[in-house]
Structure 1
Amino acid sequence: MSLVMPSELVVDRFLPTVRAMLARRLAERGLTQEEVAAHLGVTQAAVSNYVGGDTTTVARIRDDPRTGATVDRIADGLADGTMDGYAALAELLSLVREFEDRGPICELHEEEMPALRGVGCDLCVRGADAELRAERRALERVRRAARVLSTTPGMARFVPNVGSNVGEALPDATAVADVAAVPGRVYAVGERVEVPANPEFGASKHVATAVLAAGDVDPAVRGAVNVATDDALLSAARDAGVDPLEFDADYEDRRERLRERFRERGEVPAVAFHRGAFGVEPVSYVFGEMAVDAAERAAALVEAADG
């Protein structure tokens, strides 16, 4: 049988289709062909062909709702400046992985190599170690969570002077090195929230400690965001049916102290806070199942408090 690599289908079928769709979406959002070409890394002539419909696209990929949703998300982000090239690439790579897992790319592969049909082929998804896949997914979710923080109106007012962060623990995490977060923390510049770097494991001790304490009590809770303790935010939490849990600001044995308070409550609260101490700024932690869940919960509370 002929040997066709899945990566060939990504290059020959997936990329031309997605580039054509993305070029049209960006043009619809008012970008010039020169700007579109710069974003896509192609010539203006290629963009003209994409926008003019002179490029052949693959219906199976083009018509999949996941493609449309991803292309729209990237187009919106590139057009309004909330997404950079790295984040856009991460979105596309995530879509490729989905399509290689019994999706359109897998279907195209079986058409090119009929011998693969009916044998439960999982070469693409089996190739990566399961632990590495879990790490990549955690990093992707922390990137998305950081974007939520950076694009939420009013968030800058709730960033502590020491900075905020967002973290997600791996399944069965035991140490700070098992928690992905943003190196250097997320900080406010005027009314903007800046994310200085892409997430890494072991990048935040304080958020990681809170996430690990939560996981000790409820393994389903793996994400957290820290924001400034603010009465308006705590009031918004109560209005949303959340009972914030207060804890001691002392940093000694923080994981054990939080774990004890969570066990006393009988659950990991959606919001836990302290009022600060000498040399310790008041901070609140917003928890969620994953980093994105925690960030979206924090964003909703900020919008309610800032309203």
Structure 2
Amino acid sequence: MKTNAFEVASRYVYPSLRRRLVGVLRERGLKQTEIAELLHITQSAVSRYLGEERGKLIDVSSFPDVDREVRELAERILAERPGEYWIHTELVKLSLEFLGKGYGCSFHAGIDPDINPEECRVCIELFG
């Protein structure tokens, strides 16, 4: 195993979730600067998410339950305007839930040919 579960979460899943969150906020009509302020990230980062330069390897919107949770998170952020640590905590939780449901297995096997998704149950057992 060249790439472990935590690397998959931090390098691929988390950025993909954040990209989707930025996209949902953009769908709500927010400007890049407003999104950046809400999420406590730079406007440049927002631009890279929207331009699919970041977080594009996993389309989390293709998982209806995850997409619903990201949309709910966006609504909560709009309503409550929480701090950056709260948002980070929620994105980490979503990342681990994503892995725990086995959604990252085929992706993980695609980037690490040593992974056999039929044998590896690390994420499902740890985070499921």
Q: TM-score range by the shorter chain?
A: 0.7 to 0.9
| Aligned counterparts, 1:43-122, within 5 A | 43-55=42-54, 57-81=56-80, 84-85=82-83, 86-111=85-110, 112-119=112-119, 121-122=120-121
Partner residue in 1 for 2:17: 18
Question: Cα distance 1:89–1:49, how it changes in 2: closer, same or farther (>3 A)?
Answer: closer
Structure 2: where are the runs of 5+ without partners?
Answer: none
CA contact (8 A) 1:26 1:75 kept: yes
Q: Could you state the TM-score of these two structures normalised by the residue count of structure 2? A: 0.73
CA contact (8 A) 2:9 2:95 kept: yes
Taking only the aligned residue pairs, the percentage that are identical comes to 28
Q: Could you state the TM-score of these two structures normalised by the residue count of structure 1? A: 0.35
Question: Cα distance 1:104–1:126, how it changes in 2: closer, same or farther (>3 A)?
Answer: closer
CA contact (8 A) 1:70 1:91 kept: no
Q: Which structure has the larger Rg? A: 1
**Structure-2 separation of matches of 1:107 and 1:96:** 15
Q: Secondary structure at the match of 1:116?
A: coil
Q: Secondary structure at the match of 1:10?
A: helix
What one-letter code is carried by the residue in structure 2 that aligns with 1:118? E
CA contact (8 A) 1:19 1:40 kept: no
CA contact (8 A) 1:101 1:122 kept: no
**Structure-2 separation of matches of 1:40 and 1:17:** 15
What one-letter code is carried by the residue in structure 2 that aligns with 1:66? D
Question: Cα distance 1:69–1:16, how it changes in 2: closer, same or farther (>3 A)?
Answer: same
Matched, 1:3 2:2: yes
**Structure-2 separation of matches of 1:43 and 1:117:** 36
Question: Cα distance 1:118–1:89, how it changes in 2: closer, same or farther (>3 A)?
Answer: same
Question: Cα distance 1:92–1:76, how it changes in 2: closer, same or farther (>3 A)?
Answer: same
Partner residue in 2 for 1:153: none
- Structure 1 residue 75: deviation in Å? 1.1
Partner residue in 1 for 2:122: 123
What one-letter code is carried by the residue in structure 1 that aligns with 2:118? G
Q: Which structure would you say has the larger RCO, counting Cα contacts within 8 Å and 6 or more residues apart?
A: 2
CA-based RMSD of the aligned residues comes to 2.9
- Structure 1 residue 53: deviation in Å? 4.4
**Structure-1 separation of matches of 2:91 and 2:70:** 8
Q: Where is the strand percentage greater, Structure 1 or Structure 2?
A: 1
**Structure-1 separation of matches of 2:55 and 2:90:** 23
* Count of matched residue positions in the alignment of Structure 1 and Structure 2: 126
Question: Cα distance 1:113–1:62, how it changes in 2: closer, same or farther (>3 A)?
Answer: farther
Question: Cα distance 1:38–1:101, how it changes in 2: closer, same or farther (>3 A)?
Answer: same
| Aligned counterparts, 1:150-189, within 5 A | none
Partner residue in 2 for 1:219: none
**Structure-2 separation of matches of 1:39 and 1:62:** 21
Question: Cα distance 1:16–1:108, how it changes in 2: closer, same or farther (>3 A)?
Answer: same
- Structure 1 residue 69: deviation in Å? 0.8
- Structure 1 residue 84: deviation in Å? 2.2
Matched, 1:27 2:29: no
